[in-house]
Amino acid sequence: MKVDVLLGLQWGDEGKGKIVDVLAPKYDVVARFQGGPNAGHTLEFDGKKVVLHQIPSGIFRAHTRNVIGNGVVLDPIVLQAEIRKLAAHGVDAHRNLFISKKATIIVPTHRLLDLAQEKAKGVDKIGSTLKGIGPSYQDKIGRQGLRVGDVLSPHFQERFKKLTDAHFEILKGHPEISYDWPELSAQFLEAITFLRTLQLIDSEYFLNRELQAGSSILAEGAQGSLLDIDFGSYPFVTSSSTVTAGACTGLGVAPRHIGEVYGIFKAYSTRVGSGPFPTELIDEDGERMRREGNEFGSTTGRPRRCGWIDLPALKYSIMINGVTQLLMMKADVLSIFPDIKVCTHYRLSDGQMTESVPYEYAHQQITAIYTELPGWKCDIRNMKADAVPTELANYIQFLERELRVPITLISTGPDRLQTIYRN
């Protein structure tokens, strides 16, 4: 069997959580490969709504085992709270959650450093979720991070102190950041005690053995390709590899084991935080899109910036990821518009037209050039596969022609059941 990968092609929040939950019954294992509690993946079913931050979105499927891979940064406090919430839904994470010993631990000072770094940037701030993502990946790459396997060492407390002492030195330069360390560290150490009760594993061996035994594996991405550390709109990005290649390094599976790459996108675009967004609507239409799509961050509650679909950006993401199937989300939100705009090109500040994402993406004025398609102007939320309005069918065909990848699934609402498969 192969490892299929599901990842966001835009700036995150495409609906990865919903679709991983929908696809999970087909998979023996679901594995998160990067990111951390900056993610907010929403699942809706049986009248319930759950937002997952650290735990893979296959957790509600009884026969699916869920792995937090080595590429993830893990906040034990967030994890403990999330596991408690799952218990209230009758899910026992002690049974079907496995955590890589090589995943990096987020300590409370990482969150403080995140805040300090953002404050220091002033108007150029990234708009970080302030979950400690940047600083924890900095420590990982700087070879001084704590890893999940370290919690089993008798020297864990010492190592924790050494790392946080280094952070306190930096925080001395930021007297504006106040905190109650006895409280924060007590909370952290309690969560570490809890972490020790979970299944901590050598996840690269676990996953490769599963592959050899014929199990099917779905790798779940967090964030989106336009937030990728290398290929995103740098510096307005997250600190991990959100692309297909990140699934290999974030799980320890070889490139030849990658199978389908599901690229998920909204029928429009959203972005939360700072950075370029050529198709952004800063008018009444943008407000309506936000209201209709309930576009408020699943992790921070911040209003998401909204705009039309951006084909140059999507083509770029499809190229980097080797997408084999496209999944289109939230088409129902566009039902309110009589006409739908699609950005096909950019005009750069020197007047040149392009279909490519330019290097100076974040630092020049880019004008989106649109074509317009008629809208479907009807409620499609509970639509069946054989009742797709002509205008929506045309929109899908137009996108398939432009993007040269089949759209095999359309989502028409947040619930598991509001999903249409296309052959």
Residue 345: CB minimum distance to ligand IMO, A:
25
- Minimum distance from CB of 356 to ligand GDP (Å)? 25
Nearest alpha carbon to residue 376 among 366, 390, 386:
390
Smaller CB distance to ligand IMO: residue 190 or 230? 230
Q: Which of 4, 21, 41, 114 is catalytic?
A: 41
Is residue 13 annotated as part of the catalytic site, yes or no? yes
If one asks whether residue 305 binds ligand GDP (CB under 6 A), the answer comes out as no
Residue 15, binding choice from Mg ion, ligand GDP, ligand IMO, none, Cβ under 5 to 8 Å by partner class = ligand GDP
Q: Which of 311, 329, 333, 336 is nearest to 400 (CA)?
A: 311
* Among the listed residues 117, 233, 240, 411, the single contact to ligand GDP using CB under 6 A: 411
How far from 16 is each of 12, 41, 52, 197, CA to CA, in Å? 8, 6, 11, 28
User: d(Cα 3, Cα 300) in Å, to the nearest integer?
Assistant: 31
Task: Identify which of residues 35 and 413 has a Cβ nearer to ligand IMO in the complex.
Answer: 35
- Residue 235 has, within 13 A of its CA and on its CB side, a CA count of 8
Which span (15-23, 103-111, 116-124, 165-173) binds ligand GDP, by CB under 6 A? 15-23
Cα torsion at 381, 385, 386, 388 (round to 10°)?
50
Residues 23, 54, 332, 392: which binds ligand GDP (CB under 6 A)? 332
For residue 285, count other CB atoms closer than 10 A to its CB. Answer: 15
> Which of 376, 308, 391, 296 is closest to 345 using CA atoms?
308
Greatest Cα-to-Cα distance within the chain, rounded to the nearest angstrom: 65
Closest to Mg ion by CB, 37 vs 40, is: 40
Residue 260 phi, psi dihedral angles, 5° rounding: -70, 145
Structure-block tokens of residue 153: 């060492």
The interface partner of residue 272, options being Mg ion, ligand IMO, ligand GDP, none and the CB cut-off 5 to 8 Å by kind, is ligand IMO
Stretch that binds ligand GDP, among 126-134, 188-196, 329-337, 356-364 (CB under 6 A): 329-337
Shortest distance in whole angstroms from residue 379 CB to ligand IMO? 26
The contact set with Mg ion (CB under 5 A) reads 13, 40, 298
Any contact of residue 220 with ligand GDP (CB under 6 A)?
no
Out of ligand IMO, Mg ion, ligand GDP, none, which partner does residue 344 contact, by CB within 5 to 8 A per kind? none
Contacts of 124 (CB under 8 A, 6+ apart): 274
56 binds ligand GDP (CB under 6 A): no
Note whether 44 binds ligand GDP by CB under 6 A. Answer: yes
Verify binding: residue 276, ligand GDP, rule CB under 6 A. Answer: no
* Binding status of residue 163 toward ligand GDP by CB under 6 A: no
Of residues 133 and 309, the one with the C-beta less far from ligand IMO = 133
Q: Binding of ligand GDP at residue 16 (CB under 6 A)?
A: yes
d(Cα 199, Cα 419) in Å, to the nearest integer?
Answer: 33
Interaction of residue 140 with ligand GDP, rule CB under 6 A: no
Residues that bind ligand IMO (CB under 6 A): 8, 11-13, 35, 38-41, 126-129, 131, 133-134, 222-224, 227, 238, 272-273, 298
Query: Which letter, b or e, does each residue of 385-400 get, where b requires 16 or more Cβ atoms within 10 Å of its Cβ?
Result: eeebeebbeebbebbe
User: How remote is the C-alpha of 160 from its chain's centroid?
Assistant: 28
Does residue 42 belong to the site contacting ligand GDP (CB under 6 A)? yes
Catalytically annotated residue among 13, 310, 332, 415: 13
- CA gap 233, 239 in Å, rounded: 12
What distances in angstroms separate CA 10 from CA 5, 15, 20, 269, 312, one per listed residue? Answer: 15, 11, 17, 7, 11
- Residue corresponding to tokens 């020197």: 350
Q: How do strand 309-310 and strand 97-100 relate by DSSP bridges?
A: unpaired
Q: Smallest gap, in angstroms, from Cβ of residue 181 to ligand IMO?
A: 22
Stretch that binds ligand GDP, among 211-219, 326-334, 357-365, 395-403 (CB under 6 A): 326-334
Binding partner selected for residue 131 from ligand GDP, Mg ion, ligand IMO, none, CB under the kind-specific 5 to 8 Å limit: ligand IMO
Q: For residue 250, give the 3-state DSSP assignment.
A: helix
Give yes or no for residue 82 binding ligand GDP (CB under 6 A): no
Nearest of 69, 39, 72, 79 to residue 188 by alpha carbon: 79
Q: CB-wise, 208 or 239, nearer to ligand IMO?
A: 239
Residue 185 is a binding residue for ligand GDP (CB under 6 A): no
In DSSP terms, which residues pair with 341 in a beta bridge? 372
Binding residues for ligand GDP, per CB under 6 A?
Answer: 8, 12-18, 40-42, 44, 293-294, 298, 329-330, 332-333, 411-414
Q: Which residues belong to the active site?
A: 13, 41
